[in-house]
Chains A and B, each alone.
Chain A
Amino acid sequence: MFSLRGKTVLVTGASSGIGKQICITLAGQGAQLIITGRSTERLSETLQALAGEGHQMIPADLTDSALLAELVKGLPVLTGVVFCAGVITYLPAAFSNEAKIAEIFKVNYNSQIVLCQQILKAKKIAKGGALVFISSISSQLGVPGTLLYASSKAAVNAAVKVLAAELSSQKIRVNAIAPGIVRTPLLDTAKDIMEKERFDNAEKEYPLGYGEPADVANATVFYLADESKWATGNIMILDGGYTLK
């Protein structure tokens, strides 16, 4: 069950946190990977951690449209893409100005959707392929300070539904995973801003505790595997029971 043997998968945001673990897990299930991210150094660390042969890394800042176009040009036909690049920010509404909106959306929404658009236009996703977007539970909540982050992820959720409908004729499936708090380096930034004590206390709100990158990676395997061939347009809530209350 859930083998990814014979699948060629592109993963964005592969240099750290959830993205890195997704790469390790997918390679473990037999997928051939093309990994991309901004930091060449950390991307090579991910590459070295992958089981199996023939994986490829292409360092690129996807917010740079020339680099993005070059990346797409060099891609083989894919059977899956995992859109994992993202930044987190905590800003009160009064400070969420136009420049900040542009900054957050550029990474979390624009670059991912433009990549998807170019892959589709270049016909580099095979029939029966699967696209997986890493969203966030905050897209459906109202956590103070997350105006821009939550909105950017809500935009991704909406895109997933539309893409799922548009691409169904080619049997390409599009799903999102919306995790709650996962312990990652991205989170250390959040922790830095939030105060350690409050951060640790907040874990009590999670019946199953905070998540691990592997929890998200395992769900990604499910959506890429042929076994989930009937699942499309889903936003999977993966939050250790946080939203049960």
Chain B
Amino acid sequence: MEITVFVDNFANLFDETPKAEIGETTNFKGLEEWNSLLGLATVAMVDEHYGVRVSGDEIKDAQTVTDLFELVKQKSAGNK
């Protein structure tokens, strides 16, 4: 699992926020565009690309994009 690919997949969910504004250390819930539908989109993207389920509460607990990445990485390792 590559973090750069993850950041790219995540940034693709946004329509208004320029890609350059989303990086590994971005506090994504602080972004103006962030809303509950993007939360659902994040769950769906993680399921589609990584085959694991993350919950709304887990997304709520994550601060940065790296936190999300680590969560997904940990979950997919548990799946193997």
A92 is contacted by which of B37, B57, B59, B60 (Cβ under 8 Å)?
B37
Q: Is B56 in contact with A193, judged by CB distance below 8 angstroms?
A: yes
CB of B65 within 8 Å of the partner chain: no
* A185-212 to B contact mask, C-beta < 8 Å, 1/0: 0000001111111100000000000000
Q: Is A193 in contact with B40, judged by CB distance below 8 angstroms?
A: yes
Q: Is A192 in contact with B55, judged by CB distance below 8 angstroms?
A: yes
Binds A, one of B1-9, B43-51, B68-76: B43-51
Q: Is A195 in contact with B44, judged by CB distance below 8 angstroms?
A: no
CB of A230 within 8 Å of the partner chain: no
B36 is contacted by which of A144, A192, A196 (Cβ under 8 Å)?
A144
Q: Contact size class for B?
A: 10 to 19
Q: Is B41 in contact with A192, judged by CB distance below 8 angstroms?
A: no
Q: Is A145 in contact with B56, judged by CB distance below 8 angstroms?
A: no
CB-CB < 8 A to A193: which residues of B? 40, 43, 55-56
Docked pose: A70 CA to B7 CA in angstroms = 50
Least CB distance from A200 to B in Å reads 12
Chain A interface mostly: helix
Least CB distance from A202 to B in Å reads 11
Docked pose: A66 CA to B55 CA in angstroms = 35
CB-CB < 8 A to B59: which residues of A? 195
CB-CB < 8 A to A198: which residues of B? 36, 56
Q: Is B48 in contact with A144, judged by CB distance below 8 angstroms?
A: no
Q: Is A145 in contact with B57, judged by CB distance below 8 angstroms?
A: no
CB of B39 within 8 Å of the partner chain: yes
B40 is contacted by which of A92, A191, A196, A197 (Cβ under 8 Å)?
A92
Docked pose: A90 CA to B40 CA in angstroms = 7
Q: Is B57 in contact with A196, judged by CB distance below 8 angstroms?
A: yes
Q: Is A91 in contact with B39, judged by CB distance below 8 angstroms?
A: no
Q: Is A95 in contact with B44, judged by CB distance below 8 angstroms?
A: yes
Docked pose: A191 CA to B60 CA in angstroms = 13
Docked pose: A217 CA to B62 CA in angstroms = 40
Q: Is B45 in contact with A192, judged by CB distance below 8 angstroms?
A: no
The B-contacting residues of A in range 86-130, CB under 8 angstroms, are 90-92, 94-95
Docked pose: A196 CA to B37 CA in angstroms = 15
CB-CB < 8 A to B43: which residues of A? 90, 193
Q: Show the binding face of A for B, using Cβ within 8 Å.
A: 90-92, 94-95, 144-145, 191-198
Q: Show the binding face of B for A, using Cβ within 8 Å.
A: 36-37, 39-41, 43-45, 48, 55-57, 59-60
- Which 9 A-B pairs rank lowest in CB-CB distance, beginning with the nearest? A195-B56, A95-B44, A192-B55, A92-B41, A145-B40, A144-B37, A193-B56, A194-B56, A195-B60
